[in-house]
A and B are shown apart, each in its own frame.
Chain A
Amino acid sequence: MKRLVTLLAVLMMVLGALTGCGPKAAETIKIGVNLELTGEVSVYGVPERLAFQLAVKEINAKGGINGKQVELVIYDNAYDTAKAVENATKLATVDKVVAMLGSATSAPTLAIGPVAKQYEVLAFTPSGSNEKVTMDGTAVNPWVFRACFIDPFQGVVLANFASNDLQAKKAVVMGSSSSDYAKDLAKIFGDKFAANGGQVLGVEYYTDTDTDFSAQLTKIKGLGEFDVLFVADYAARAGLIIGQARAMGIDVAIIGPDGFESPDLNSLAGGAANVNNVYFSTHFSTLSTDAKVQNFITAYKAETGENPSALSALAYDAAYMLFAAIESAGTDPVKVRDALKATKNFAGVTGTISFDNFNNPVKSAVIVKLENGVQVQATIVNP
């Protein structure tokens, strides 16, 4: 027992010493980061942290904001709402940050919202797409902002794209019954496509754990001729569906939401050769010729060795929108919130961004076409 106590005491002291050091506070602008850096969705949180760090590095190299260097205080919430609340409380009350960035997914952000409101420090999620994230009951939560468009918007954009750009008349919808993301998108796409004068021949549901979709695809094949197959799901299932559909001779255009975007899509589809005539909506495409986008891609690649994903692009935009707000309003959290809210036509890498009444960005979507598993064409679609 004595040994144990000694050991723990040493451990505590080491930890205490570690927390003790670090840059002095008063000289820097502190921005909190509350992300999923471990756990099941760390794949979303980690690229966003890299983008935040890149943005901070860039702005500090240029002399910081109004002459002050920016410092990130980064906490991991592990996709746990309890940890997200604890982190947000600590950022707002102990670290006294100017604003908080994160989280990457909706659930932790929903838990951060009330804390942001209570302590009056804004929370800015790059990619929390659940409609309720910026809401407080039925009204808007004035302290939560997001940089991504929301799911209903995506469904509408994709339906318009199918009707107008692809000239599709008949569609079939597939989606997972396990996630609201899929269910909502399937419904909104179907409604909008029908409203555009198209016809939805059938809707097939499966669950997240399914890997064999031959039953659904055989049924779809029996529905008769159609122009487009809409798959409302993430790449984990969408990739398999693309591969199995192509193997069964379904060669119509397959379109889907931003969940398609994944380095694994081609391998899941059984090889890049299967990923033809596939479209998905996203926030950002590396194909853009905009100098701002190309600079971001170069810088991100130099920093991390990877191409930026939509998530890192959104995080990068969120960071710079926040910097702009701090630049004009100073470091008072309330004034920063007002300045961010007043953002008009901010030129970011994911488009030109303003906020609507519900703190959602008003921006365009990008529809990317994949041929042989490679992004070959990016179309900007306005709602």
Chain B
Amino acid sequence: MKNLFSKKNLIWLGVLLVFFFAVQVMIDTRIITPYYRQVLYWVGIFVILGVSLNIIIGITGQLSLGHAGFMSIGAYSAAIVMRDMPDMTGLLLGMLVGIAISILISLIVAIPTLRLKGDYLAIATLGVGEIIRIVILNLEITNGASGISNIKNLISWPLLFVFVVAAVVLSANFKNSAIGRACISIKEDEIASEAMGIHTTKYKVIAFIFGAVLASLAGSLYATTYYVVKPETFGIATSINILIIVVFGGMGSLTGSVIATGFIGVVNMLLQSYAEVRLIAYALILIIVMIFRPQGLLGSKEFGLDRILGYKPPLGKKPRKEKSA
């Protein structure tokens, strides 16, 4: 309990509350127009996706390319449940259904595939994402290729805020927990951590499921924000987009993912009017940033209060020298 109300947490709570009400006031006074609100929703949803993939890639060091697959599970669960219950209860129930299915599927997937390493794992997870998409494409309940439309729109700033903060705080706690430290050790050196008595497969599976659950949650929010879900939305391109967020923000840095998503959201917004050059400019910006910051915007550091308040980093979180990407 003492830790819960530490100075640091109280400051964070204050910052979040101020941010929440500031945005709410700006929405009410129309300084944030409905269009900016749409951009905000996009950023919020992709923050959850980025942070959740960062748990798998950045913290645990397992390259997963099937993240959009888990997102689609959440999206379709919410869409299907909300077909009969188009209200908040339906959305929350849909989220729970999505989370349950994600846990089940990620468990089934994780146990065999996470014994693979590097490229092999990437290809296996790529396959999993495709399998999920193809299954959705051919199921009756998901309405095949045309997807589900007319999903009730329940997204709002408070709802988004609650889920984004919950996802980020959960991820931060995960990272700083004993499990998280075990995961980091797996990333640093799998053989050494195994020699230290860490059950590497177990922790990799835990991290994988954790990431999948959050991705599913983001998918549910996606469904209620954009009215329509269709299988193509959750293809490899979306998985790569989430990967870009993780690499761009810095692998292992949760706050990096948050900042990167905001940055990419703004860039996309500014480029919207230039259909022809949009993709070129977007890629160019990514390339330029990666040239100047090959380790991502924040590297593996976190943007936190520790440094501002002059706290010593806790054991095992010593800032490392970053030489290679």
Please judge, given known A-B contacts A86-B42, A106-B146, whether A38 and B230 are in contact too, CB under 8 Å: no
Whether B222 lies near A82 (C-beta < 8 A) is: yes
Q: Could you tell me how many residues of chain A have their Cβ less than 8 Å away from some Cβ of chain B?
A: 47
| B176 contacts partner chain A, Cβ-Cβ < 8 Å | no
- B279 contact set on A, CB distance < 8 A: 38
Instruction: State the CA gap A44–B222 with chains docked (Å).
Output: 26
Whether A86 lies near B146 (C-beta < 8 A) is: no
| A165 contacts partner chain B, Cβ-Cβ < 8 Å | no
Residues 112-138 of A at the B interface (beta carbon under 8 Å):
113-115, 119, 130, 132, 135-137
- B144 contact set on A, CB distance < 8 A: 179-180, 183
| A24 contacts partner chain B, Cβ-Cβ < 8 Å | no
| A140 contacts partner chain B, Cβ-Cβ < 8 Å | no
List 6 additional A-B contacts (Cβ < 8 Å) besides A86-B38, A113-B150, A135-B150: A11-B285, A15-B270, A37-B275, A82-B42, A107-B230, A110-B150
Whether B273 lies near A75 (C-beta < 8 A) is: yes
CB distance from A234 to the nearest CB of B (A): 12
Whether B35 lies near A89 (C-beta < 8 A) is: yes
Instruction: State the CA gap A301–B80 with chains docked (Å).
Output: 47
Nearest B residue to A131 by beta-carbon distance? B146
Residues 34-49 of B at the A interface (beta carbon under 8 Å):
34-35, 37-39, 42
Pick 15 A–B contacts, CB within 8 A, sort by A. A4-B288, A19-B270, A19-B273, A38-B275, A38-B278, A40-B232, A76-B275, A80-B233, A81-B229, A81-B230, A86-B42, A92-B34, A114-B227, A132-B149, A137-B150
Residues of B that sit less than 8 Å from A by CB? 33-35, 37-39, 42, 137-138, 143-147, 149-150, 153, 222, 225-230, 232-233, 270-276, 278-279, 285, 288-289, 292-293
Shortest 4 CB-CB contacts between residues of A and residues of B: A76-B275, A110-B149, A111-B228, A90-B35
Instruction: State the CA gap A113–B153 with chains docked (Å).
Output: 12
- A179 contact set on B, CB distance < 8 A: 144-145
Nearest B residue to A176 by beta-carbon distance? B145
CB distance from B223 to the nearest CB of A (A): 10
Whether B146 lies near A93 (C-beta < 8 A) is: no
Q: Per a CB cutoff under 8 Å, which of B34, B143, B146 touches A89? A: B34
- B230 contact set on A, CB distance < 8 A: 81, 107
Instruction: State the CA gap A95–B233 with chains docked (Å).
Output: 27
CB distance from A82 to the nearest CB of B (A): 5
- A89 contact set on B, CB distance < 8 A: 34-35, 37-38
- B270 contact set on A, CB distance < 8 A: 12, 15-16, 19
Whether B42 lies near A136 (C-beta < 8 A) is: no
Instruction: State the CA gap A1–B278 with chains docked (Å).
Output: 25
Residues 1-58 of A at the B interface (beta carbon under 8 Å):
1, 3-4, 7, 11-12, 15-16, 18-19, 37-38, 40
Instruction: State the CA gap A80–B237 with chains docked (Å).
Output: 11
Residues 54-106 of A at the B interface (beta carbon under 8 Å):
74-76, 79-82, 85-87, 89-90, 92-94, 106
Instruction: State the CA gap A132–B233 with chains docked (Å).
Output: 19
Instruction: State the CA gap A340–B268 with chains docked (Å).
Output: 34
CB distance from B102 to the nearest CB of A (A): 21
Whether B39 lies near A178 (C-beta < 8 A) is: no
Instruction: State the CA gap A276–B33 with chains docked (Å).
Output: 57
Nearest B residue to A90 by beta-carbon distance? B35
- B38 contact set on A, CB distance < 8 A: 85-86, 89-90
Please judge, given known A-B contacts A81-B228, A85-B38, whether A4 and B289 are in contact too, CB under 8 Å: yes
Please judge, given known A-B contacts A137-B150, A180-B144, A180-B146, whether A107 and B33 are in contact too, CB under 8 Å: no
Instruction: State the CA gap A94–B38 with chains docked (Å).
Output: 12
Please judge, given known A-B contacts A81-B227, A107-B146, whether A114 and B153 are in contact too, CB under 8 Å: yes
Please judge, given known A-B contacts A86-B38, A89-B35, A93-B34, whether A79 and B232 are in contact too, CB under 8 Å: yes
Nearest A residue to B230 by beta-carbon distance? A107
CB distance from B154 to the nearest CB of A (A): 12
Whether B145 lies near A94 (C-beta < 8 A) is: no
Instruction: State the CA gap A4–B285 with chains docked (Å).
Output: 10
Instruction: State the CA gap A94–B272 with chains docked (Å).
Output: 13
Instruction: State the CA gap A136–B229 with chains docked (Å).
Output: 15
Interface centre among A15, A82, A114 (most CB of B within 10 A): A82
- A183 contact set on B, CB distance < 8 A: 144
Whether B278 lies near A76 (C-beta < 8 A) is: yes
Instruction: State the CA gap A107–B231 with chains docked (Å).
Output: 11
Instruction: State the CA gap A40–B270 with chains docked (Å).
Output: 23
- A107 contact set on B, CB distance < 8 A: 146-147, 149, 228, 230, 232
Please judge, given known A-B contacts A81-B226, A107-B146, A110-B228, whether A7 and B233 are in contact too, CB under 8 Å: no
Nearest B residue to A207 by beta-carbon distance? B138
- A136 contact set on B, CB distance < 8 A: 150
Instruction: State the CA gap A86–B153 with chains docked (Å).
Output: 14
CB distance from B93 to the nearest CB of A (A): 20
- B275 contact set on A, CB distance < 8 A: 37-38, 74-76
CB distance from B202 to the nearest CB of A (A): 36
CB distance from A119 to the nearest CB of B (A): 8
Nearest B residue to A182 by beta-carbon distance? B145
CB distance from B48 to the nearest CB of A (A): 14
Q: Per a CB cutoff under 8 Å, which of B35, B137, B149 touches A178? A: B137
Instruction: State the CA gap A75–B275 with chains docked (Å).
Output: 6
Nearest B residue to A75 by beta-carbon distance? B272
Nearest A residue to B272 by beta-carbon distance? A75
Whether A132 lies near B150 (C-beta < 8 A) is: yes
CB distance from A155 to the nearest CB of B (A): 16
Whether A3 lies near B35 (C-beta < 8 A) is: no
- A11 contact set on B, CB distance < 8 A: 285
- B34 contact set on A, CB distance < 8 A: 89, 92-93, 119
- A76 contact set on B, CB distance < 8 A: 272, 275, 278
Instruction: State the CA gap A179–B289 with chains docked (Å).
Output: 40
Whether A4 lies near B293 (C-beta < 8 A) is: yes
Whether A178 lies near B145 (C-beta < 8 A) is: yes
Instruction: State the CA gap A4–B294 with chains docked (Å).
Output: 12
Instruction: State the CA gap A106–B228 with chains docked (Å).
Output: 11
Whether A85 lies near B145 (C-beta < 8 A) is: no
Instruction: State the CA gap A11–B285 with chains docked (Å).
Output: 9
Whether B226 lies near A111 (C-beta < 8 A) is: yes
